[in-house]
Structure 1
Amino acid sequence: MINWQANVLPKQFNRRLNNFKRPVNPPLILTAVFFTLIIFGTCLLLLPFASVESLSFIQAFFTASSAVTVTGLVVIDTGTALTTFGQCVVMVLIQIGGIGFMTVAVISFLSIGKNLGLKQRLLASQAFDTSDLNGVIHVAKCVITYSLIIQTIAFCLFFISWIDDYGIAGSAYQSLFYTISAFNNAGFALDSNSLMTFKSDISVNLIISALFIIGGLGFTVLIDIYQQRRWHKLAINTRIVLIASAVINCCAFFLIFLFEYSNPATLANLPFNEQVIAAWFQAVTPRTAGFNTLPISQLTSDSTLLTLLLMVIGGGSVSTASGIKIGTFVILILAMYSYLRQKPQVTVLNRELSDKLVIKALSVVILYLFTAFLSIMIMSKIEQASLLDITFEVISALSTVGLSRDFTSNLSIPSQLIIILLMLIGRVGPLTFAYCFARPKLQPLKFAKTTIQIG
């Protein structure tokens, strides 16, 4: 009897213990949480009082996916097809999707007096892209605090700008919607023409562009700026993001102005000051936001190609923007430069970058391009449309930008499902999404080195 208990019971307990100790897969859980939030938003949008006319499941699913992934691609007109309740649902989904579900979860746990366990900290560290398990609570608090402060300031500025046009109630609602949409880089608008109505309004253009640029820098960058407040004390990552963002934005502004200056469908017929404003807005919006003050389908081929590149680059890590991210882009440029100069290491600002970091950046780009090309290939077989329109739509979805060449509403249901998947992949990150299926595996053996001809 004693031997039976000694042999059988421990096996049962060991089996349960092994199940309990099964390693957590944070990428898979984060992706599942985003998908669950999308389903929840879809159910809310399907309620009778959420829309003027009943939405189909795919319309509600697409809208919820676009809001949670802060993309901005739409198959319905948000301003006319949805009721105030439906628009509020979209705002909430944007806010949660933008600042991150894990941020909301961490703050919710703390507000009810609960402590975060190891699994919760692992999930949060994956979402915040940090290895510091003890610092995730501080990061979550900072994300919430900075988001509220920045959005409150922007709301007040919007309210002052619009109160004469929309009245107190209308201005307040309009200000709230665009503040949330812009800061979270969502690109949702209450007008079917996005922000084309405000292309000559300096205050609206500056406020919205400032919002999505700040939101696209990354919360770790904002935290570092606030804590250090001196350029030489800022982290290398912060300085790289700030320098790269400034250079990319300025170069894009100059090129867009140059490409569109003589285009009668965009800038040619505008006064010079409005040309400058519109060129600036169109230059900075592709990397992050998805708003537009110029008709995207009427841009020159040069501007369209530049817009595609800007969408691929995207914003900063741990931000409301997506794409391959600025850090990834800079690392690959530096790696190429170091190889051409025959340098043994990749360096930046007198610091050496590890080979692992370079390989990670390369992996992100390869996964991004593979996903994009595969999607373009499949959609080109489904849709009777130009390759440019399909490519633009795929890149916009995968980078969660939201710009479109008036093509989204014409997508078939299979293509809409592909775009939904791309938006989800873009929001969690191609590498994170791949980790859902590829588990890390340690290699105990070392193999002999070999070479493969390249270049």
Structure 2
Amino acid sequence: MSSEQRAFRIQAAIRPFSRHLARVPPPLILALLYACAILIGAALLMLPVSQNIPLSWSDAIFTATSAVTVTGLVVFDVGSGLTLFGQTVLLFLIQLGGLGLMTFAVLILAALGLNVGLTGQMYLRDDLNQSSIYQLMMLVRTIFKVVLICELAGAALLAVPFTRAHGFWQGLWEALFHSVSAFNNAGFSTNSNGLISFATDPVVNVVIPLLFITGGIGYVVLHDVARSRRWHRWSLNTKIMLLGTAALILWSVTMFAVLEWHNPRTLGLYDSFAERIAVSWFQGVTPRTAGFNSVDVAAIHDSTAMMFISLMLIGGGPTSTAGGIKVTTFVVMILATTAFFRRQTELHAFGRSIGFDQILKVTALIAISAILVFVAIFLLAATHDGHFLDICFEVASAFGTVGLSRNYTDDLNGFGRAVIIAVMFLGRVGPLTLGFFLATRATPRVRYPKGVIYLG
């Protein structure tokens, strides 16, 4: 049999499978891909070559889910519990989870036919500026280049403090691990106490936040800013994302400093004003996306924990490595609420109108997210003993794929781990899945007369 005949037979065998696959909704494909990555990752972590300590399947599946969903919650110390091979597997899962979501988001836009120049469609349409699959694939390749440059540059800079603390080769590995983890907003650390020992290091305080802010702000925003330096040429999505991110950073850093300034277990550990500001900066920007800690999160005040919960639920930007309901969703919710009290019939910002379909999408996202978080908190509270705030914090961290914890992850039983796994999975895959179905339009065949409902 010639090679051409063999290739023809292979194509003939694959063609029916391809036709069936084409009928599967992209969100279901996304969920299946994530689930397969989690199972394969868990199987690799169960190999003896990956372990320094005995791991159960529950440990492996929880850790693999946390890595693929770029969350960062752990049930054991990955630095001492995993070998170099195991840590490499974990790093690959983090990279796959963070990068995979961005590239799939671009492909979803292409599958939905979101072309440039059509007003009132989904956000990001005018940011991508692509009208064909080929151009979108070129953009995906550009994403790979940006990720590679950012992670390698971050690793090179982080090598300075890490090699000084851990030696040359171990320091290089930890610099690479933390760079990839930071850019993908994973929050995994090979240090048992996180980054507490580097809390006042200037390089760590600059490079790590720069990496996770860049990864969490959204590639389409970076693409828009790189394409033009002028404010008036940026899209509405980019303007809202940049201003919303700046406002949230200013709020979180300032409030963390105010609330924790005299806490003897957090900022009170440092004597100088500059050190307290540096720690406030790092710990103030990390709750929305990354999940790194430079202080003991279990030692923060309850008021600070509540602020962290709100930031974790908001999350980062669309088509980014961050989770949560997204900054743009939060800003549109605020704008819609303000418009209601002002009795405005149209919603607009920066000289652009926001379509009614976008407002419906925001409402659906917030409603579903609130229900998911509430149900998870209820299930954990009903089956676990512990401080209620710690449970709320754990669920918010899992949904926002942040990874911060008040040392409650180790207290989860088998059912609790299953709940957190489900929340991490839905928090990562759910928003894009919901966005796909909301973007599918159906023209109503029947119109009904308006009714009156008394609200509030």
- Is TM (by shorter chain) over 0.5? yes
Take 1:414 and 1:27, find their aligned partners in 2: how far apart are those partners? Answer: 26
Please give the per-residue CA displacement for 1:250-307, whole angstroms capped at 9, x wherever unaligned.
1111111000111111112312111101111111100000101111111112111110
User: 1:4-53: CA deviations, max 9, x gaps?
Assistant: xxxxxxxxxxxx99x75974311111011001100010110010110112
Distance 1:266 1:165 in 2: 22
Q: Letter of the 1:348 partner, please give it.
A: A
Give distance in 1, aligned partners of 2:110 and 2:33.
Answer: 15
Following superposition of structure 1 onto structure 2, how do residues 119-130 of structure 1 map, counting pairs within 5 Å?
122=111
Give me the whole-angstrom Cα distance separating, in 2, the residues matched to 1:226 and 1:379. 45
In the alignment, which residue of structure 1 is the partner of 2:279?
A: 278
Residues 152 and 385 of structure 1: CA distance in aligned 2, closer, same or farther (over 3 Å): same
Q: 1:179 to 1:255 in 2, by over 3 A?
A: same
In the alignment, which residue of structure 1 is the partner of 2:298? 297
Give the TM-score normalised by structure 2: 0.88
Q: Distance in 2 between matches of 1:436 and 1:152?
A: 37
- Specify the alignment match of 2:388 in structure 1: 387
2:446 & 2:145 partners in 1: Cα distance? 48
**Cross-structure match for 2:172:** 172
Amino acid at match of 2:238: T
Name the residue aligned to 1:184: 184
Seen in structure 2, the aligned counterparts of structure 1 residues 156 and 124 have a Cα distance that, compared at 3 Å, is farther
Is the 1:28–1:435 Cα contact (8 Å) retained in structure 2? no
CA offsets 1:99-151 (integer angstroms, 9 cap, x no match): 11673999xxxxxxxxx9xx9953998xx976955343133112111111111
Answering whether residue 57 of structure 2 is matched by residue 68 of structure 1, we say no
Normalised to the residue count of structure 1, the TM-score between the two structures is 0.88
Distance in 1 between the 2:138 and 2:343 partners?
42
Quote the sequence identity (%).
38
Summarize the Cα distance change of 1:194–1:151 in structure 2 as closer, same or farther, 3 Å threshold. same
Q: CA RMSD in A?
A: 2.7
Change (3 A) 1:21 1:84: closer
For the residue of structure 2 that corresponds to 1:268, the secondary structure is helix
Q: What letter corresponds to residue 141 of structure 1 in structure 2? A: R
User: Does structure 1 residue 199 correspond to structure 2 residue 188?
Assistant: no
Deviation at 1:431, TM superposition (A): 6.0
Who is 2:221 aligned against?
221
Cα distance in structure 1, aligned partners of 2:102 and 2:214: 20
Q: What is the rounded CA distance, in whole Å, between the counterparts of 1:288 and 1:159 in structure 2?
A: 23
Give the aligned partner of residue 243 of structure 2.
243
> Which amino acid in the other structure matches residue 316 of structure 1?
G
* 1:164 Cα deviation after fit: 3.0
Amino acid at match of 1:304: A
Q: Distance in 1 between matches of 2:287 and 2:178?
A: 17
2:415 alignment counterpart: 414
Runs of 4+ residues deviating >2 angstroms: 19-24, 101-106, 119-125, 128-136, 160-168, 229-232, 433-443
Alignment of 1:29-428 (within 5 A): 29-100=29-100, 103=103, 122=111, 134=133, 135-270=135-270, 271-428=272-429
- Mean Cα displacement is larger for which, 207-216 or 150-159? 150-159
**C-alpha separation between the residues in 1 aligned to 2:441 and 2:81?**
45
SS class of match (2:353): strand
Work out the CA distance in 2 between the residues paired with 1:162 and 1:353.
47
Q: 1:157 offset after TM fit, Å? A: 0.7
Contact 2:183 2:214 in 1 (8 A): yes
For 1:95, the aligned partner's letter is Q
The verdict on how the C-alpha distance between 1:356 and 1:120 changes in structure 2, with shifts beyond 3 A counting, is: closer
Change (3 A) 1:266 1:434: same
Q: How far 1:394 moved relative to its partner?
A: 0.6
**Alignment-mate amino acid for residue 261 of structure 2:** Y
- Helix, strand or coil for the counterpart of 2:348? strand
Q: How far 1:54 sits from its partner (Å)?
A: 2.5
Shift, 1:171, TM fit: 2.0
Q: Is the 8 A contact 1:102 1:124 kept in 2?
A: no
Structure 2: unaligned runs, 5 residues or longer:
1-15, 115-122
* Count of aligned pairs: 427
